[in-house]
């Protein structure tokens, strides 16, 4: 077991999969000679050459379309968006081409490609560069949507995503690239569509993904000091969604808090809450609570930006309301 940052774990996953399968290649803005905008692809151009690490123009719709075509012909492209805010330029290729080609061809084509890059807010990047779009992609049949929260998960999930025969939207928290944690030695993968119970508990179930997971764990540790035991579920994949793990936890705790950074209206978090209320009403001792981001564009000012997302303290207050 070693300690790596999420950035280093992702880099290792890319290198291992490119070494294992010559059909895997990386394409995107600044992925090669600049070593990646966030240095996730550091050293890959030198190791694998320009045929497999391809710098593109600033043309997301164009290189996403190239990736769809390459995947339909048997290659395994990893398409990096410098940020998922820029994926809006390529959304037609992601949702209308990648997600639907296998279905519309009655299985004659498979689409083994990964769209990956950073998502969510960081620090003072403003309204156009701070958005969480996981719910938009999770809304679309034909895509798998993955959001890791630890270095170990990031590496194992990315390796599985690259090997998957369906298109995967792999969303990394830009704010967490430098977060460090243990990563196993040797070969391993983590299956898509399986949640991870990061902390066991019996009083309240906390459900989240990506960078809200450390906040949930922080809140759970503080609440445990007063005898409140929270079960913390890191979904890791929100499409397909691991309902079995969630349902088992709800049967045990009878109270649920869902935490996300995305805007509240029509969000994944509210969909999760709705389904739990509909399918598991008899197990609930209180209404499900959802903590989402504020319903407005992300501000630039530090003091306003700090108010946009639920903190560990906000989570603790919500848990106390549930109890």
**In angstroms, what CA-CA distances link 128 with 15, 125, 210, 268, 276?**
31, 8, 20, 20, 32
User: How far apart are the C-alpha atoms of 194 and 162, rounded to whole Å?
Assistant: 16
Residues ≥6 apart with Cβ < 8 Å to 111: 68, 71, 72, 98, 101, 102, 165, 166, 167
Catalytic residue numbers read 60, 129
Q: Are residues 111 and 94 in contact, defined by beta-carbon separation less than 8 angstroms? A: no
Q: Which of 290, 240, 243 is nearest to 262 (CA)?
A: 290
Q: Residue 99: phi, psi to the nearest 5? A: -70, -20
User: How far apart are the C-alpha atoms of 25 and 18, rounded to whole Å?
Assistant: 7
User: How far apart are the C-alpha atoms of 294 and 212, rounded to whole Å?
Assistant: 14
User: How far apart are the C-alpha atoms of 112 and 67, rounded to whole Å?
Assistant: 10
Q: Which of 83, 118, 81, 112 is nearest to 6 (CA)?
A: 118
Residues constituting the chain: 323
């Amino acid at each position: 077991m070693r300690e790596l940052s999420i950035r280093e774990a992702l880099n290792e996953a890319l290198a291992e999969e490119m070494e294992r399968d010559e059909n895997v290649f990386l394409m995107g803005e600044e992925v090669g000679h600049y070593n990646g905008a966030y240095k996730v692809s550091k050293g890959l151009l030198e190791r694998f050459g320009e045929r497999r690490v391809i710098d593109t123009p600033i043309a997301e719709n164009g290189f996403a379309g190239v990736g769809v075509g390459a995947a339909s012909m048997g290659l395994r492209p990893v398409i990096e968006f410098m940020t998922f805010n820029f994926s809006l330029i390529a959304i037609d290729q992601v949702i209308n081409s990648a997600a639907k080609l296998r279905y519309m061809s009655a299985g004659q084509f498979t689409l083994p490609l990964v769209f990956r890059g950073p998502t969510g807010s960081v620090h003072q990047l403003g309204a156009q560069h701070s958005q969480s779009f996981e719910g938009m992609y999770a809304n679309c049949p034909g895509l798998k949507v993955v959001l890791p929260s630890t270095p170990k998960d990031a590496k194992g999930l990315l390796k599985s995503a690259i090997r998957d025969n369906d298109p995967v939207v792999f969303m990394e928290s830009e704010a967490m690239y430098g977060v460090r944690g243990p990563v196993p030695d040797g070969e391993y993968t983590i299956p898509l569509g399986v949640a991870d119970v990061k902390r066991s508990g019996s009083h309240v179930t906390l459900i989240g993904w990506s960078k809200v997971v450390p906040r949930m764990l922080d809140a759970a540790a503080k609440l445990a000091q007063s005898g409140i035991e929270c079960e913390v579920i890191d979904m890791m994949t929100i499409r397909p969604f691991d309902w079995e793990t969630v349902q088992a936890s709800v049967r045990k705790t009878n109270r649920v808090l869902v935490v996300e950074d995305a805007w509240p209206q029509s969000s994944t978090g509210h969909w999760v809450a709705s389904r739990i209320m509909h399918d598991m009403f008899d197990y609930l001792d209180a209404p499900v609570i959802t903590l989402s981001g504020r319903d407005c564009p992300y501000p630039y000012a530090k003091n306003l930006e700090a108010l946009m997302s639920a903190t560990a303290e906000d989570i603790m207050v919500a848990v106390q309301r549930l109890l």
